[in-house]
Amino acid sequence: MAGASTMSWWERAVIYQVYPRSFQDSDGDGVGDLRGVIRRLDYLQWLGVDAIWLSPIYPSPMKDFGYDIVDYTDVDPIFGTLEDFDALLAEAHRRGLRLLLDLVPNHTSDQHPWFIDARSSRTSPRRDWYIWRDPRPDGSPPTNWLSNFGGSAWEFDPATGQYYYHAYLREQPDLNWRNPEVRAAMLDVMRFWLDRGVDGFRVDVIWHLVKDEQFRDNPPNPGYRPGMWPYRALLPTYTTDRPEVHEVIAEMRRLLDSYGERLMVGEIYLPVERLVAYYGDAGTGVHLPFNFQLIGLPWDAPTLAAAIAAYEGLLPAHGWPNWVLGNHDKPRIASRVGSAQARVAAMLLLTLRGTPTLYYGDELGMRDVPIPPDRVRDPWEKNTPGLGLGRDPARTPMPWDDTPGAGFTAGEPWLPLAVDARAIHVTAQRDDPSSMLGLYRRLIALRRDEPALRAGSYTPAGSGEGWLAYLRESGGRRLLVALNLGAAPLSVDVSVESSRVLLSTVPGRAGEAVGGRVALRGDEGVVLELLERP
């Protein structure tokens, strides 16, 4: 077990995701921007997070809100300029905050000069930078591969008579990572930002980068039922998680390591047994393969306890764990588990072993915002309406105060503000220690101040219907975390001889002495400081 002092910055860190369109607008166009993020750095410093992951800021036609890039080494005017970016980085670093960019290497925009060149003719020098295949004899797509955003993943290009592959929108053609020139070009992109001083990258859909060399059809998914996400009709056996992806990652890692302690986080939606392979052999994988179990699993104690144990058990010796509660692609935690239970979820996120990543606004208890049909922006919702896949509800503007634009914008926000934005906002919660924001801030501070939480061992301390408990320990200091995952009070079967409440999700319990069984109120989580060995 690494001692707190020998840890890397990213092992000690709490990461905060900023979705730049929705964080802070500084010019009244209703869309957040880099100058806006600069204005809010003091807030992030006050909150106590250590690193910011910024979702894409590059020039983009915004078909997928920045995940469709036309220039990897510039900033979209809607977000500002490269000078604004440099100012943001300098201001973040001045406050001791690290900055991670979103690297999107799997696909470009169809408006990227590389793709325009590639599609211009079959003999274009960049043709092979993308994935082109002839139609089947009957003219149909070369394989049965499906797009994540609906329909076939192959788009026919009439001018050159071939199909190109796109795992997402047809406006997001996939790059051909088997081509060494593509790899070299993307490493150059990484160098561009690393030379500017960024602290690392969150790498978009990294498990998608390499596709089957033989272009085999994906097998049907026996678990698929109508009404499910259409992409799930097939198992993505030949389109994702191919063995060769690890060579690509190792190359990226070598580059990062040549810059010192820079971080690579990988976006990977895979079962944990496969996920942990992305740690690679020591020094060859991504530092943090995003662990999305808290997002994906049903919110019940036995399931979560088993998942934590399985994950802890599968980690390679050099693998540092990480946990995520929300992001710009998934329903918000407060909508999923309810506002009261979201406080318990916050405690879980910030007391488990491993780097936590939190999503902007979750620290206020923001909920999904219903989007009227005429204001839907997400292409996924537009392509597969009615299935509940739309991501706009979780991407609405951050409410800062009770002014009409919630302190987010002086204009018309690009997505509607929450109806409760006039009540749930930073200003209302900032000075109230019992608020969600107050709780997040105390949890983050506790994590920072307690080596047992930041660096200590994790030992399950029991779980039952509706509850789970675990021990975090470092250098003789032992903390017990006990969480009630339901609304009814519980007395849980963890005997502690003598302990004191360090922090509770329910106001007024700090300092309380606890001995014997641990009594929890409904929706309560506690961190207990154990005073004697039981």
Residue 143 tokens read as 């394989």
Query: Is the Cβ of residue 109 or residue 463 nearer to ligand NOJ in the bound state?
Result: 109
Q: Which of residues 327-346 bind ligand NOJ (CB under 6 A)?
A: 328-329
- Of the residues 10, 115, 168, 440, which one makes contact with ligand NOJ according to CB under 6 A: 168
**Region 461-520 residues binding ligand NOJ, contact defined as CB under 6 A:** none
Q: C-beta of 100: minimal distance to ligand NOJ in Å? A: 14
Strands in 409-506 per DSSP E: 457-464, 467-474, 477-484, 490-504
* 302 three-class SS: helix
HSE, CB side, 13 Å, CA atoms: give it for residue 161: 5
Distances (CA, A) of 145 to 166, 227, 235, 340, 444: 9, 19, 10, 42, 43
Binding marks (x or -) toward ligand NOJ, 251..290, rule CB under 6 A?
Answer: ----------------x-----------------------
DSSP 173: P
Beta carbon nearer to ligand NOJ, 62 or 118: 62
- Detail the DSSP E strand segments found in 237-386: 263-266, 288-289, 322-324, 355-359
Q: Toward ligand NOJ, which CB reaches closer, 205 or 506?
A: 205
Q: Nearest approach, Cβ of 458 to ligand NOJ (angstroms)?
A: 28
Nearer to ligand NOJ, 150 or 456 (CB): 150
Q: How many residues touch ligand NOJ (CB under 6 A)?
A: 9
- Two tokens, residue 82: 């490269």
- In angstroms, what is the minimal distance from the CB of 54 to ligand NOJ? 13
Whether residue 516 contacts residue 490, with contact meaning beta carbons closer than 8 Å, is answered with no
Nearer of residues 16 and 470 to ligand NOJ, judged by Cβ: 16
Site string for ligand NOJ, 60-99 (x = CB under 6 A): ----x--x--------------------------------
Whole-number Å distance between alpha carbons of 21 and 174: 24
Q: CB of residue 365 vs ligand NOJ: minimum separation in angstroms?
A: 23
Which are the catalytic amino acids? 204, 267
User: Could you please report the per-residue DSSP string of 355-388?
Assistant: EEEEETTGGGT-------GGG---HHHHHSTTSS
CB of 146 to ligand NOJ, least distance (A): 14
Q: Which three-class secondary structure state does DSSP give residue 517?
A: strand
For the segment 178-207, give every residue that binds ligand NOJ (CB under 6 A). Answer: 204-205
Q: Contact positions toward ligand NOJ, by CB under 6 A?
A: 64, 67, 104, 168, 204-205, 267, 328-329
